[in-house]
Structure 1
């Protein structure tokens, strides 16, 4: 599958964002017009991925088949859109899978595009981005945004277009309905016990959120839209959700006695099986955050993915902002990082065609060069291992989980021997590129071990299959015995990447 290229988009280009949620799969297609996005198509299918998730992290064959069939249909819609203009993200249910790749492999084949698994906090950032662009706020206005999905709930406080606080909870409309109302039975006793348990999750961050405060509260996603429609149909509000209206809706749900018997004005048949869990989570949020009123937004995660995609490859790429923030936080030597980056990219340009590496690969190598020494803030001994751990396990804005693991693998493999485990989390479709980029980063780091500004004279790199020939000026290298010793021992370590390195001196 081709990697996404980077670079500015042009007017007329189509972009597509796919949200593989725990309840529904969504796709939105938009056209870039004068730097803005104009939506031209939307598709939605109820898949209910969370229904198929078992306690061991497996996915039922029935739900998996349902998901793949949906992705195949979505893939037909976006078949003519270039890969760099498409982004698909998977959320809580895929995050919870014991072996995500067992699902992602067939899913990517069905869709015809890569699928990024994003963390809960990254999901929160993208949700806020979507709301902020669809309903532009005042610069000094703070907003609370709540997104109740099928398997998780995201809560964000932001000012303008910038999220200030992000939290993700393991509660959602599908998961909560399954867990707390097993067998479809609805009783007040069950409801109150469930409400207490869900409220405890909100209490983890409720106090600092209330202390920070907000000027406006907004709900997004299908759950909020459904509850807003019910409130309007019952003439409780004009579409907003208030504490009083929510209590009326809750009581009507409990009066039904069973989920299949819920009968509320404005409630679709599609939403009925999961509305109880959604109302439960929202009531817990109202109580914990002391809410009185919530506006409902039409925007959601998919809109955020679109606007994020619009900014990628340009000055607003959130990944580059995050890299700069990490460098500052961990005290990275920026001058050394720049030296390593310059040499790594020079080597890249010489072998890119032979190794079929694209612009996105070049951007990844650049970011890895900037971050390869972040582990030094923890300890010099094994700093490459420390750095890899930080990159894999941190919440880094703009990156998918696969993207973070890719960076972590490059940092882990940039020095010393390369363990087999370094690339075990990399999808098969990315493995060759990961090994090749790691080889380029290793050479660049070795060549700048002295941390000086000089660049090697007559440096040339040739690639043929898994063979690399590094050609250098002999007299220049003889004047640097430490570097020569490093380079002479490097071919043995490079075998850990499956690459045969040869040093040629002219």
Structure 2
């Protein structure tokens, strides 16, 4: 990728640097670009083989030596992005971190080493970003449909898209490292074992093969290290140039089986770094060819990191993918837009009054705004406990543009916007976000209370002051006494607010 046009709303100016980091199951990557004459020009790329997936055990633990290898790599990458503003850096972690029993135990030191937050993204969000990277590296025709397959170390993402828009996204728990470990852990490459493994991996693809083949595509593209490695082998064996064919893949597989053992693999064009995991990659790609009926797949240089870089440009702007997702959720669940706007407006008014005292930033404001618009999402399921239903949907859905931490932040605010606040509401929030999440939840609670009557009215001179964990809400006495239900709600609120670790005092002027 040489240049990318910044999206409208981007805060980048000429000379600014932006960086995207991909913490994959096999390798960690970083790409740094600079805005020059309105375009992004890549100025640096770094890659290190970390093999996170190799260190995972069945219980979600991570081998100490792999953990240290990952942290050392992040410390080096951190030096490269140390002078780039936080808003211009985004790091994403994929399948191996998703599989950890206690991700925070790894993420805390990892973020300290890197010096930037790390977003854990779902498999389908990873698929969306991969597609963006391919679409902007190789711009498609407007109506052209593409199948994109990304075989990583621990998972495989399959996407069908039209133009720059993903239409279907799937993520499978098969990858080059995971499949090599699972099927060939003793190093032997036998024909019988290969066929049994192939049948098992094919079952994974068959889960979505029918709708994918029904939708169809005009071309197939493969991304990331596995496709590049197999493409290099095919080129060296004169089986294709820039693409992988069904016949070429079959010949590569035969050469693997002839080797008999992984350490004896001798394929032209194959690097020593890729040799220990190539068998699993070839196996997964052969299964994809068989089940999806592929005859040929082009190899792209783009991957997740390019998608993250491009996506980063739109975050905070008019076409932020998170804003599009919030609008889609409101429509899907029939959210009362007028009430959502009332609550949002008041929540943001309160936010602006205490942001400086509480050290809240623009990202906190944006998350509070989204939570306000979505706080009644659960009403589409049932009125009783609708805040619980809404929180569940937000935490467990695949929501484009959001990291897993971001979805949990939203879910915690929605879960705690009414009734008592359970300790479990914030259990999954990372420590670095916990304090601000609790404070944003308090602001949402007050905004919801003030609009319980579902009217466009606010007390004159509404004021909120914050001093540490103490909040003081000032209301007009006459206005409040004319609303006995609201007065009763506010009298009970200080006790509920203790669940957020805050002391609320109501002052009447």
Q: TM-score, normalised by structure 1?
A: 0.98
List aligned pairs for 1:333-372, cutoff 5 A: 333-372=336-375
2:223 to 220, 223, 229: 220
Q: Secondary structure at the match of 2:11?
A: coil
1:417 aligns to 2:420 (yes or no): yes
For 2:468 and 2:157, the matched residues in 1 are separated by 46
Taking the TM superposition and a 5 Å limit, the aligned residue runs for 1:56-455 are: 56-455=59-458
Q: Using the alignment, how far apart are the partners of 1:35 and 1:84 within structure 2?
A: 18
Give deviations 1:166-192, integer Å, cap 9, x for gaps. 000000000000010011111111100
Give CA deviations for 1:344-369 in whole Å, capped at 9, x if unaligned.
00000000000000111100000000
* Equivalent position of 2:53 in the other structure: 50
Return the alpha-carbon distance in structure 1 between the equivalents of residues 400 and 38 of structure 2.
23
Once residues 13 and 373 of structure 2 are traced to their aligned partners in structure 1, the CA distance between those partners, rounded to angstroms, is 29
- Secondary structure in 2 matching 1:228: helix
Distance in 2 between the 1:112 and 1:391 partners? Answer: 28
Question: Could you report, residue by residue, the CA deviation over 1:173-212 in whole angstroms, capped at 9, with x for unpaired residues?
Answer: 0000001001111111110000000000000111111111
Indicate if the aligned counterparts of 2:418 and 2:445 stay in contact, CA closer than 8 A: yes
How many Å separate the matches in 2 of 1:33 and 1:41?
A: 14
Rounded Cα–Cα distance in structure 1 between residues aligned with 2:406 and 2:242: 39
449-458 or 278-287: which moved more?
Answer: 449-458
In structure 2, distance between residues paired with 1:385 and 1:35: 45
TM-score by length of 2: 0.98
Taking the aligned partners of 1:449 and 1:405, their CA distance within structure 2 comes to: 25
Determine the C-alpha separation between the residues in 2 that align with 1:281 and 1:311.
33
Gaps of 5+ in 1: 1-5
CA distance in 2, matches of 1:291, 1:7: 39
RMSD: 0.8
Aligned to 1:33: 36
Task: Give, in angstroms, the shift of residue 33 of structure 1.
Answer: 3.2
Distance 2:36 2:465 in 1: 42
Cα separation, 2, equivalents of 1:142 and 1:36: 26
- 2: CA distance, partners of 1:420 / 1:366: 23
Deviating beyond 6 angstroms after TM superposition, the runs of 4 or more aligned structure 1 residues are none
How far has the Cα of 1:455 moved from its partner?
A: 1.7
1:224 partner SS: helix
Measure, in 2, the Cα distance between the counterparts of 1:289 and 1:206.
Answer: 6
Aligned pair count reads 501
Unpaired runs of 5+ in structure 2?
1-8
Q: Deviation per CA, 1:365-403, whole angstroms, max 9, x where unpaired?
A: 000000000000001111000000000000000000000
Instruction: Show the counterpart of 1:3.
Output: none
Judge conservation of contact 2:10–2:313 (CA < 8 Å) in 1: no
Counterparts of 2:305 and 2:25, CA distance in 1: 14
* Distance in 2 of aligned mates of 1:73 and 1:194: 38
Give 1:474's aligned residue. Answer: 477
1:306-327 residue CA offsets vs partner (Å, 9 max, x unmatched): 0000111111100000000000
Q: 1:7 to 1:466 in 2, by over 3 A?
A: farther
SS of residue in 1 equivalent to 2:139? coil
Shift of 1:13: 1.6
Instruction: State the distance in 2 between where 1:274 and 1:16 align.
Output: 28
